[in-house]
Chain A
Amino acid sequence: MPQLNQETKHKINFTLNGKAVSGYTEPRTLLSDFLRQEMALMGVHVSCEHGVCGSCTVQIDGKAVRSCLTFAVQVEGRAVDTVESLADENGELSDLQIAFRKHHGLQCGYCTPGILMSVEAFLEINPKPNEDEIREMLSGHICRCTGYTGMVKAIQDVVETR
């Protein structure tokens, strides 16, 4: 089906946090809204809705991207990962999440899911970043609580121990 008409729900099939799933969506639905409202993944946080704040960042095929600047229909056949993919099935936090807690890399936590998904994608490309590179990557996220210092320490901690 190359053309999906407006005001009609269309079935999309994709991989979500490692599992094959399907759902129904109108063309105009943003991936961020689809993940929250249809897939009930409340770790996808929505804030600015124009790609500036970074809170809605998820991974598509392993790349960190803004889910508010992607339509749900675009993930047909792709792999989407959200913050819910990080902890294991028993709720044990990942090393990155533990490091964020240890170094006070969050306060209110609203920006945190997006940042964690960025960091994981970033470390795949650049496993041994220096502080400038870490800060450049974090510039794609707005956090008004922490001043970023704790996040930088948490990421450096993970880089050293992985």
Chain B
Amino acid sequence: MKPNNFNYVRAESVDHVLSCLAEHGENARILAGGQSLIAMMNFRLVEPAYLIDISGLDELKEIKTNGNSVEISAAVTQAKVIAAADVNEHLSLLVDALPNVGHFQTRAKGTFCGSIAHSDPSSEQPLCFAILGGEAVLKSNRGERVLAASEFQTGMLATAREDDELLTSVRLPKQNPSAGHAFEEITRRQGDFAIVAIAVIADGENIRIGVGGVAGKPEVRDWDGLADSDIDDALNALAWELGDNEDIHASAKYRRQMVRRVGRRVIEEARKCRS
């Protein structure tokens, strides 16, 4: 399958991108790594009139630490995120979760921010963005907006980004070094999208759990001071709250069971990792 026609814009700067988006936003798509977008274009699920390629912009290839957060720019690949010293020191959840994103060969090109902008509910990166409580930095010729993950993620493949805005970076607060975390996902094959993905951060007696692959967007819950005997009930209630999503990969019943079983395992693992 081949993509339909489009006009290709090789971006020369962020300002150039913003002026293109101001003119063509409604009919344009941003090309960063293209590992989801080009596949969708090949299927003709997406047929933009303009494709704006930001993959060559050095100003969008930075990972930097500012105070309490690590900022990952729009053209940074998943391979670079996994290898980055700042990420290994402050965001070890990403180091555990990102090797599950696609394969060695797609992580060399796929970008962290691109996945968050694409907002596939079964992808690992929107889940990490949600559970870590990150912020999306959106720029347009009208100015800059910073949205919390919960405001940015609006549903299945949907975000609060306006047509003329570019997601220039994502900011993630540093993890508390004494908190434990764990990540696990259920897939048919290594590198597939998750049928169910669960991340947990255990801080003292508090549990923050994030679930991807079930509802239309990653769902995060905070269970503070929950007694050990109440965890299974909480997981069961969460499994039912996430809806009845069924597809060729798994039934709704199977997904609920995975939320309960894998959820329990990931909580226990995260608690073991506390220091």
Contact = CB atoms under 8 A, between A and B. Distances in A.
A45 interface: no
B51 A27 contact: yes
B10 A2 contact: yes
B66 interface: no
B38 A136 contact: no
A141 B168 CA distance: 32
Interface residues of A, number: 36
Given A2-B16, A137-B104, A139-B103, A69 B7 contact: no
B39 interface: yes
B8 A7 contact: no
Nearest to A117: B105
A66 to B, nearest CB: 6
Interface stretch (A16-24, A70-78, A82-90, A99-107): A70-78
A50 B42 contact: yes
B104 A69 contact: no
Nearest to B49: A6
Nearest to B53: A74
Interface in A13-60: 26-28, 30, 33, 49-51, 54, 57
A63 interface: yes
Nearest to B13: A2
A136 B10 contact: no
Contacts of B108: 63-65, 121
Contacts of B1: 49-50
A4 B105 contact: no
A118 interface: yes
B104 A27 contact: no
Interface in A123-162: 136-137, 139-141
Interface of A: 1-7, 26-28, 30, 33, 49-51, 54, 57, 63-66, 68-71, 73-74, 76, 118, 121-122, 136-137, 139-141
